């Protein structure tokens, strides 16, 4: 099913899920990108570590050690450190999603440089999730990919209605398989295609509805990204006029 407008987004959701279904969404600017968390996108572990879980723990420990001047004392627990690190570009086992389909759609269309590629909106329906953020060190929750509804740690997470899917890292160094290839009785995935030619109109519709950089990233980064997007699109239009 294709999404060519905000109206068609809601028609797709209504035609796929029941009103009581629990859902979260992920937008991707390219249709063919696999559903793999950032830690596994290079298909190997780094620094001589013998398995993915050990590699993740070392990444988080180093992040906490170097980030101390910016996050204060006491340090966040392991789960919250993963969430904070993920939102600042740290490779983790978390796959970003949103409980709001409009906001997820924004992340599938917000890069004009990818307008020549079809995008995708992945919809996850689930019956099992975690929202507790206890003090245990072990963040691995068995062998299933599990939706995670995190503590609202910062304004950006709240603005994006952010949630995650925790990838079950293996105790080996094999390339990570996409989440939609894992066996999971509590999670189903549907992918909607966003045609390349529909991305610009979707950006315009979402902006009118208040789904835009400066509101999803309520800080100077968001303001700057929004201005850059506006001027970049204007520049592209200007160049086309004088080809």
| pLDDT one-digit tens code per residue, 70-98 | 887 777 888 889 999 998 889 999 999 99
pTM for the predicted model, two decimal places: 0.86
Q: Helix count (H) and strand count (E) of the chain?
A: 8, 6
- Tell me, what DSSP letter sits at residue 38? G
Q: What is the 8-class DSSP label of residue 2? A: B
β-bridge mates for residue 26, sequence order: 122
pLDDT digits (tens, 9 = 90+) for 191-215: 999 999 999 999 999 999 999 988 8
CB 109 within 8 Å of CB 203: yes
With 80 as the cut, is the pLDDT of residue 24 above it? yes
- Of the pLDDT bands very low, low, confident and very high (cuts 50, 70, 90), residue 42 is low
Q: What is the pLDDT of residue 96?
A: 96
Q: Which residues contact 88 (CB under 8 A, 6 or more apart)?
A: none
| Structure token pair of residue 188 | 């189903």
236 vs 234: CA distance, rounded Å: 5
**How many residues appear in the chain?**
243
- CB of 159 closer than 8 Å to CB of 142: no
Per the CB < 8 A criterion, the answer to whether 174 and 155 are in contact is: no
Tell me, what's the pLDDT at 76?
85
* Cβ proximity of 150 and 157 under 8 Å: yes
The answer to whether 86 and 92 have CB atoms below 8 angstroms apart is: yes
CA-angle at 86, arms to 165 and 196, nearest 5°: 70
Residue 118's nearest CA partner among 192, 195, 35 is 195
């Amino acid at each position: 099913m294709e999404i060519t407008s905000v109206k068609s987004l809601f028609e797709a959701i209504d035609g796929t899920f029941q009103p009581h279904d629990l859902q979260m969404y992920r937008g991707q600017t390219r249709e063919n990108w696999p559903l793999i968390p950032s830690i596994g996108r290079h298909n190997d572990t780094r620094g001589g570590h013998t398995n993915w879980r050990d590699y993740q723990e070392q990444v988080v420990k180093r992040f906490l050690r170097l980030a101390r001047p910016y996050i204060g004392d006491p340090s966040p627990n392991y789960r919250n450190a993963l969430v904070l690190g993920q939102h600042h570009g740290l490779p983790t086992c978390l796959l970003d999603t949103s409980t709001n389909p409009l906001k997820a759609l924004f992340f599938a269309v917000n890069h004009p440089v990818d307008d020549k590629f079809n995008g995708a909106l992945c919809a996850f329906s689930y019956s099992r999730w975690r929202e507790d953020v206890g003090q245990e060190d072990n963040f691995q929750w068995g062998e299933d990919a599990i939706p995670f509804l995190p503590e609202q740690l910062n304004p950006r997470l709240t603005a994006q209605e952010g949630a995650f899917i925790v990838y079950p890292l293996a105790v080996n160094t094999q390339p990570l398989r996409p989440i939609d290839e894992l066996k999971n009785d509590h999670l189903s995935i549907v992918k909607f295609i966003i045609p390349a030619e529909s991305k610009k109109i979707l950006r315009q519709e979402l902006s009118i509805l208040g789904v835009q950089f400066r509101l999803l990233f309520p800080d100077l980064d968001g303001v700057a990204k929004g201005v850059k997007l506006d001027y970049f699109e204007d520049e592209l239009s200007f160049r086309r006029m004088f080809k």
